[in-house]
Structure 1
């Protein structure tokens, strides 16, 4: 990947053709960080069948991709918060960037676009969990209008240590 800081960012709905690049980005975080609590890398086929299939270009559950010069450099999603019907107007949001694309403002642009796109949908609340410590993600959520709700202490265990998760919320619409 070349320097993303000097290239314009294009945002678009994710497609099946993006699955290999999106899987590679996600697997970096699976293998090297506590950002996700998945512990085993995925194949593109597994990501398509168990993850990609519930996203649509419009509606509450979206997959938005960022690319620079044709390279996929990140993605943001809005997914069901919980499977019960009363939760349907709440979504859980997340964002992942290629490690070479962090710290350049791409995440802010991508995440803000996802949140803006939800304004026209029947979405009332966006929720996000941030594994701690993660100062960059905490700052991003706060800059985009999320408020910290509380911290689940030692709720996950990865790489032989327990990890806290801070939950954030943001009104939509």
Structure 2
């Protein structure tokens, strides 16, 4: 089932995220987060933006949220999206379900543009975004360094 995040989800969310911090270039974070870090993140983000989880039998299998794209007031109708799926549950269309709900909420809240930033290569995330009508609008070469290698970052945009 899909529902709004609660602070009590922090441990499961940080477990999902830290797997990618330690084992993947999907995020360019280099240091694992603490539960307290994610409790603060949940409080801060969910006060202003949609933050949802996908749960099965009281276990969080994925989460997605919108957040500030840039802090200048002129950007207030643009948000950046994030989605992470528990690595053992990939391939079950959870990201698609989370994005469907998140995009619906953002559209209903009158946001105009949503941005997805992806470390490349990341075929699954590119496919997810493009299936929702996002278009690639930027590609920055070798801007992130992780696992002793330079990585590109691309940005995909959807305009409502």
Which residue of 103, 115, 123 corresponds with 2:91? 103
Deviations 1:39-64 (A, max 9, x none): 00011012222x2222237x5x1211
Residue 21 of structure 2 corresponds to 30
1:55 aligns to what SS in structure 2?
helix
Q: Compute the displacement of 1:122 (Å).
A: 3.0
TM-score, L = length of structure 1: 0.89
TM-score, L = length of structure 2: 0.96
Separation in structure 2 between the aligned mates of residue 160 and residue 72 of structure 1, nearest angstrom: 31
Gaps of 5+ in 2: none
Residue 146 of structure 1 corresponds to 134
Which residue of 54, 64, 79 corresponds with 2:44? 54
1:129 aligns to what SS in structure 2?
strand
1:63 equivalent in alignment to 2:54: no
Deviations 1:22-55 (A, max 9, x none): 0000000101011111100011012222x22222
Which residue of 65, 68, 73 corresponds with 1:85? 73
1:82 aligns to what SS in structure 2?
coil
Deviations 1:66-89 (A, max 9, x none): 011221000001000011111111
Separation in structure 2 between the aligned mates of residue 71 and residue 52 of structure 1, nearest angstrom: 17
Contact 2:85 2:95 in 1 (8 A): yes
Runs of 4+ in 1 over 6 A off after TM superposition: none
Considering only aligned residues, what root-mean-square deviation do their CA atoms show, in Å?
A: 1.1
Separation in structure 2 between the aligned mates of residue 93 and residue 17 of structure 1, nearest angstrom: 22
Q: How many residues align?
A: 160
Q: Compute the displacement of 1:14 (Å).
A: 0.3
Contact 2:50 2:105 in 1 (8 A): no
Gaps of 5+ in 1: 1-9
